[in-house]
């Protein structure tokens, strides 16, 4: 059979829908696509019916003498489900992922055939289908977030998986088993930016260099995470980024130094200095070099502000590591997010040549 897997997140902060568009296609490949949408009721119509059936099954709808027909109760439950989802997503743009592909399905004796669908239990592994796209989702979330100067978070709104058999019937496999106020700032996504988002996504979803940083950013960007966990994930992602890029950028730094006299001997001396200092640079030293090479046209004031923010964030991380008390509500989450996205954007731009707002921010 063929599975259809859907997943949607409300995009909180930073990114808004273009005023004249209801759908913006971000990236697509064989059997999958990502889009930014205003409303997902139509996209989830088939999946919503399966979710409603699962709920009604728990209520014993297939028992005797219920009020109304099955289809009437099903329609009412779908309506309530969609209203609840709209209340959750509000006016936020929605990142929609859709995928299709082949899957082995085992229909047991409990399968019930209806006019348009088949209802069964645990006929295929939904979790395995969902898991195969997790890394890809993280890459897209980061690729999209890098298009904004403001902090962006993602809150899963709904997910659904169903199958279609050779007769065109939908097969629903049911699995029954037992803060502080903040201002959200967002700007409409420029339709022309979709090419940039797609380029970043291609890089982040295929390259393994920053796998850990991408995973940690995704953890940081989950809406509702407690500040401490957000801070630790964000710091770890930033530290990985600096350490991963330092060696390559150090090579570029030394290779571009102007040596007016005895270049061969000077090069030998610089090589000796590098050997002596290998492994001895502090994290702040590494950040300083990465900043100078990764953002060579950045104004001096902006570079100093980045360094000051990095030192402040590192100081708090060190204090936490040494057991000092701290105010979780006052953690510099926004500053950390801004710094991480700015340098991730600069690194991806260096690789893809894609223009990105955070990297050029001053």
Looking at per-residue pLDDT, the higher value among 113 and 140 belongs to: 140
Average pLDDT over residues 8-24: 93
pLDDT exceeds cutoff 60 at 179: no
Task: Determine the Cα angle at 294 with ends 306 and 13, to 5°.
Answer: 55
Region of poorest pLDDT, from 27-31, 74-78, 324-328: 324-328
Residue 67 to residue 107: CA distance in whole angstroms: 29
Per-residue confidence band for 181, with pLDDT thresholds at 50, 70 and 90: very low
H-helix or E-strand spanning residue 34: strand 32-37
Q: Any alpha helices (H) in the chain, and if so which ranges? A: 45-58, 70-89, 126-131, 134-145, 194-206, 211-220, 227-255, 263-277, 283-294, 300-321, 333-352, 357-360
Distance between the two ends of the chain, CA-based, in angstroms? Answer: 52
Decide if 237 contacts 220 (C-beta within 8 A): yes
Q: How many residues does the chain have?
A: 362
Residue 63 to residue 244: CA distance in whole angstroms: 60
Decide if 3 contacts 129 (C-beta within 8 A): yes
pLDDT exceeds cutoff 70 at 260: no
Looking at per-residue pLDDT, the higher value among 114 and 283 belongs to: 283
Mean pLDDT of the chain: 85
Residue 9 to residue 87: CA distance in whole angstroms: 14
Closest CA to 11 of 77, 71, 97, 79: 97
Residue 95 to residue 322: CA distance in whole angstroms: 40
pLDDT digit string, tens, across residues 185-214 = 567 787 778 888 988 898 888 888 888 888
61: phi then psi, degrees, rounded to nearest 5? -65, -25
Residue 179 to residue 329: CA distance in whole angstroms: 9
Residue 38 to residue 49: CA distance in whole angstroms: 21
pLDDT digit string, tens, across residues 38-56 = 999 999 999 999 988 888 8
Average pLDDT over residues 322-330: 82
Per-residue confidence band for 182, with pLDDT thresholds at 50, 70 and 90: low
Residue 150 to residue 357: CA distance in whole angstroms: 10
Q: How far is CA 25 from CA 94, 100, 216, in A?
A: 12, 17, 25
What residues does each domain of the chain span? 2-187, 207-216+224-360
Per-residue confidence band for 59, with pLDDT thresholds at 50, 70 and 90: low
Residue 120 to residue 311: CA distance in whole angstroms: 57
Residue 100 to residue 128: CA distance in whole angstroms: 14
Residue 302 to residue 324: CA distance in whole angstroms: 30
Residue 318 to residue 326: CA distance in whole angstroms: 11
Region of poorest pLDDT, from 79-93, 179-193, 332-346: 179-193
pLDDT exceeds cutoff 50 at 227: yes
Highest mean pLDDT among 218-227, 235-244, 251-260, 328-337: 235-244
Question: With pLDDT > 70 as the criterion, what percentage of the chain qualifies?
Answer: 87
Region of poorest pLDDT, from 25-29, 226-230, 327-331: 327-331
Average pLDDT over residues 145-164: 92
Per-residue confidence band for 94, with pLDDT thresholds at 50, 70 and 90: very high
What is the structure's pLDDT at 359? 41
Question: With pLDDT > 90 as the criterion, what percentage of the chain qualifies?
Answer: 48
What is the structure's pLDDT at 361? 38
What is the structure's pLDDT at 234? 93
Closest CA to 13 of 91, 81, 71: 91
pLDDT exceeds cutoff 90 at 71: no
Decide if 356 contacts 144 (C-beta within 8 A): no
pLDDT exceeds cutoff 70 at 266: no
Highest mean pLDDT among 50-59, 95-104, 228-237, 316-325: 95-104
Average pLDDT over residues 155-169: 93
pTM for the full model? Answer: 0.72
Residue 235 to residue 326: CA distance in whole angstroms: 16
What is the structure's pLDDT at 65? 46
What is the structure's pLDDT at 184? 56
């Amino acid at each position: 059979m063929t599975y259809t897997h859907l997943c949607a997140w409300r995009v909180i902060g930073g990114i808004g829908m273009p005023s004249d568009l209801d759908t913006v296609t971000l990236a697509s490949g064989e059997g999958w696509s990502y889009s930014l949408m205003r409303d997902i009721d139509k996209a989830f119509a088939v999946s919503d019916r399966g979710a409603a059936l699962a709920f009604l099954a728990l209520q014993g709808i297939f028992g005797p003498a219920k009020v109304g027909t099955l289809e009437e109760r099903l329609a009412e439950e779908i309506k309530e489900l969609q209203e609840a989802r709209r209340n959750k997503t509000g006016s936020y743009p929605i990142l929609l992922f859709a995928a299709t592909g082949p899957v082995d399905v085992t229909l047991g004796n409990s399968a019930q055939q209806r006019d348009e669908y088949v209802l069964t239990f645990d006929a295929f592994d939904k979790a395995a289908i969902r898991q195969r796209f997790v890394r890809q989702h993280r890459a897209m979330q980061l690729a999209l977030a890098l298009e904004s100067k403001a902090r962006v978070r993602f809150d899963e709104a709904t997910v659904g998986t169903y199958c279609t058999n050779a007769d065109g019937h939908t097969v629903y496999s049911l699995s029954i088993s037992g803060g502080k106020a903040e201002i959200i700032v967002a700007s409409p996504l420029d339709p022309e930016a979709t090419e940039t988002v797609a380029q970043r996504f291609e890089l982040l979803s295929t390259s393994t260099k920053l796998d850990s940083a991408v995973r940690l950013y995704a953890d940081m960007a989950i809406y509702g995470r407690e500040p401490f966990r957000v801070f630790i994930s964000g710091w770890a992602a930033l530290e990985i980024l600096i350490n991963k890029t330092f060696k390559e950028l150090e090579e570029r730094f030394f290779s571009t130094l102007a040596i007016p006299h005895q270049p061969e001997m000077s090069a030998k001396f610089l090589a000796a200095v590098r050997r002596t200092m290998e492994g001895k640079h502090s994290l702040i030293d590494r950040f300083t070099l990465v900043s100078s090479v990764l953002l060579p046209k950045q104004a001096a004031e902006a570079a100093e502000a980045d360094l000051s923010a990095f030192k402040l964030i590192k100081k708090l991380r060190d204090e936490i590591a040494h057991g000092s008390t701290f105010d979780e509500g006052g953690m510099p989450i926004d500053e950390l997010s801004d710094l991480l996205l700015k340098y991730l954007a600069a690194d991806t731009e260096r690789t893809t040549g894609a223009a990105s707002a955070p990297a050029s921010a001053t």
